[in-house]
Every structure is written in C-alpha cells, then in structure tokens.
Amino acid sequence: MKSFIKDVVVTFIESIIILAIIVSFIAIPVRVVGSSMEPTLYNGYLGFSAVFKKWLGIERFDVVIIESDKTKEKIVKRVIGLPNEKVEYRDNKLYINDEYVMENYQLNSTTEDFVISLNDNEYFCMGDNRYISKDSRYYGPFEKEDIKAVGVLVLFPFDNIGLR
C-alpha cells in the first residue's frame, strides 16, 4: 500500500512539473471571453496559444494573449503597432510611420481616428471588433513582457478548429 501511495504522489508531482513547463515554455490554454475579437474569434472559443512564438518574434497583425497589471486578466488582441513606430488611424485606414498599411484580416467595425507614438518595447494592440474592444486605446501600449503568447489554435467548437 505504501508503494502505491508513493507512486501516486510521485506521478502527481511529476505531472505538475510537466504542466508547469508546458505552460511556461510551450503553450497556454485560452478561452475567449467576450466579442472584442469577432469575427476572428468568438465568445467561448477554446484552444491553446504558443508561448515559445513570443521569443521568435512578435509581428504586426499577430493575435496575442496579453496579461498585465493594466488588464487584471488575460485578454486576446491583435498587434497593430511595433516598438518605435508611429501608429495612426485616419479615415478608417492604418498608417505606420506615415505610410499606409493594408490590414489583411476582416474587421467587424470601423476605427476612429487617432495617433500614437510607441517607445522601445511597446506594442499597440487592438481587438477586431473596434466598437466594443477595450485595448491599447483604453489601456495604453503593452510591453513585450505583457504579451504571454502568440497565435490561437482553436480546438472548440469543433467546426472552427484552426490557427488564428
């Protein structure tokens, strides 16, 4: 009996360590809450996001998982501006450093005009459903440390499985 209990305890501890390594370095579970990323991600979607991709580089238009003191919870947003860039929306068009940049994903709303200049290590992130999204327009820019993972592999609902 002692051997069985010891095996159960050891297996439990090993499982916790493996889970901690996975969540810290490989992937984190994601549950989409709210409609700020529609039509890309809908409320209730479940999946995983790649932690390791953050270290390979964060690119414009990546979908990212953010957690910071500003947000108090994990949020899912899209990277719009990168460090040391001037981000501007004018007449519902994106300009980076005064050059027009076409957004290559389907938005669910228009974007009000604004201009912001980012510093080193700052990212400007927004939801795709701009009317309701609490994002960098509300919280301000996020730092790289606030971005916990990149991309979302949707696993549920089953008819929407895929990488976003």
Distance CA 33, CA 41 (A): 9
Strands in the chain per DSSP E? 27-31, 46-50, 63-66, 75-81, 86-90, 93-96, 99-101, 114-117, 122-126, 142-143, 147-156, 162-163
Residues paired with residue 125 on neighbouring β-strands, in sequence order: 79
Q: Which of 77, 133, 136, 148 is catalytic?
A: 77
- Comparing CA positions, the residue from 31, 41, 61 lying closest to residue 108 is 41
Catalytic: which of 3, 6, 35, 36? Answer: 36
> Does residue 77 carry a catalytic annotation?
yes
From residue 92, alpha-carbon distances to 77, 82, 107, 160, 164 in Å are 18, 19, 11, 29, 23
Catalytic residue flag (residue 54) = no
Alpha-carbon Rg for the chain, nearest whole angstrom, is 19
Instruction: Judge whether 42 and 32 are in contact, CB under 8 Å.
Output: yes
Just list the catalytic residues.
Answer: 36, 77
